[in-house]
Structure 1
């Protein structure tokens, strides 16, 4: 199988143990890529969902097995637990099965730019995101993903590729857009506060790369709605990849020209 090499890869919000996890797409991504460092930026396993109703597809185990094999083969795997797998935060600073566990981490790109890595639930209290979740509720979100699931089943019957109805709807709901913007601004503020060049997070299931006031905000998205990951390529650029039936580069930022807000869409 042909693989593509990236020095660094970031994934988050996989939610293994949740019925809408797109584990097969993720498994394809992991099998077709190689890296020196694989960052798991939280909510890899959905302990909340499994407490409510246990679900574990064989493909979910295969994802964990693939990550473990990469770690054993020499890939440095760094795990930053999120709110849905917060139990593992108790192991911060330790190494479990060759996987390093950290609450936060600083990644330095080949261009010498420093990025703060964290899951992102730290910003819930400072934004309207928590209020949005309270307003929508788990039941409504599950229904949104139910619609997403059946929309794509119909699309496949007619030869269509995977498309996130859930993400499309979120972009068109005013309160959701407000919550996303507030989250992003809080993340950018934290990056400024810590004196880094950018921030990489997940949590809100909204993939994005943008530059604000010289700070690069990167969100690697999720594997529930969007099937996205961030990668740093050999030229030192950070790219946002979409990986479903058809793979594509959504956007890219060149570290050498961050100060000019050089963010490109593919």
Structure 2
């Protein structure tokens, strides 16, 4: 019996595979619980900025293998590049099997125009001082690891979990203004181009909200991340839903046996199979 949830489109962003902050096991559990027709990886899936050969756990490899497995079984996979995986932008418009690499994605969902892109194009700190943005990324990763240790202690004491970064973002006016400006810029551009939906990642703030200005309105969506919020956007029955791993229940599912044991060689083999099928 197939108990996996059937979805038309799933949007995931800001996974940051290859960093200590990534929650690959939770993402793998989520991916094993769904059966999507189209997966959109909306940037920062592999963190090439902070990539280190000595740190890429099996659980991180399993996420990649799972995505490859989706593709091999007919699911369309669109990899929208972000700033942390910007090296892939040199392969824009490359198609390997059911996997395509793009800088942005335009979809027609039940007659509604949908514009999907990562969102780093709006980030001045990245455009003008990339080294500063990378430094901030390392600092954020350290903060997440430290936060995990604190939450482990709090849970042992029977107390509620605490998020350092969310507290910082909510209390620093500059951070609040940055998020607000980001959402407004994306929404205004979408309205200008007559889109019904605009979907971003980048700022790690999951959201579904109707935004309006004098020229019209648009539904702004953000897929959040798999570092703190563990969220994804799901499209089914002509509507979008924001999925929260920590709040929404996973349907019963059996983990894929083929993902229990794997190595880098297995990953290379999977990619080779998909490439050969295309040829």
Q: How do 1:88-99 residues align onto structure 2 when only pairs under 5 Å count?
A: 88-96=88-96, 98-99=98-99
What's 2:72 paired with?
72
Residues 40 and 78 in structure 1, CA contact (< 8 A), matched pair in contact too: yes
Give 1:193 deviation, angstroms.
2.8
Is the partner of 1:154 in helix, strand or coil? helix
What's 1:239 paired with?
241
Query: What is the CA–CA distance in structure 2 between the aligned matches of 1:100 and 1:179, rounded to whole Å?
Result: 31
Give 1:191 deviation, angstroms.
0.9
Query: What is the CA–CA distance in structure 1 between the aligned matches of 2:160 and 2:233, rounded to whole Å?
Result: 21
What's 2:193 paired with?
194
Is the partner of 1:179 in helix, strand or coil? helix
Note if 1:204 corresponds to 2:209.
Answer: no
Is the partner of 1:9 in helix, strand or coil? strand
Query: What is the CA–CA distance in structure 1 between the aligned matches of 2:78 and 2:188, rounded to whole Å?
Result: 24
Query: What is the CA–CA distance in structure 1 between the aligned matches of 2:155 and 2:16, rounded to whole Å?
Result: 23
What's 1:32 paired with?
33
Note if 1:4 corresponds to 2:5.
Answer: yes
What's 1:49 paired with?
50
What's 2:103 paired with?
103
Aligned length: 244
Give 1:221 deviation, angstroms.
0.4
Note if 1:19 corresponds to 2:41.
Answer: no
What's 1:262 paired with?
none
Give 1:218 deviation, angstroms.
0.4
What's 1:253 paired with?
none
Residues 151 and 165 in structure 1, CA contact (< 8 A), matched pair in contact too: no
Q: How do 1:157-176 residues align onto structure 2 when only pairs under 5 Å count?
A: 157=156, 164-176=163-175
Give 1:159 deviation, angstroms.
6.4
Unaligned runs of 5+ in 2: 251-279
RMSD: 2.8
Residues 200 and 219 in structure 1, CA contact (< 8 A), matched pair in contact too: yes
Residues 167 and 226 in structure 1, CA contact (< 8 A), matched pair in contact too: no
What's 1:215 paired with?
218
Task: Give per-residue Cα distances to partners, 1:130-189, cap 9 Å, x unaligned.
Answer: 89x76x934542343133212332344356787644224322322111111111111112
Query: What is the CA–CA distance in structure 2 between the aligned matches of 1:156 and 1:163, rounded to whole Å?
Result: 10
Greater radius of gyration (CA)? 2
Residues 20 and 145 in structure 2, CA contact (< 8 A), matched pair in contact too: no
Most deviating of 193-202 and 159-168: 159-168
What's 1:226 paired with?
229
Residues 121 and 127 in structure 2, CA contact (< 8 A), matched pair in contact too: no
Query: What is the CA–CA distance in structure 2 between the aligned matches of 1:5 and 1:223, rounded to whole Å?
Result: 21
Higher relative CO (Cα under 8 Å, sequence separation at least 6) belongs to 2
TM-score by length of 2: 0.78
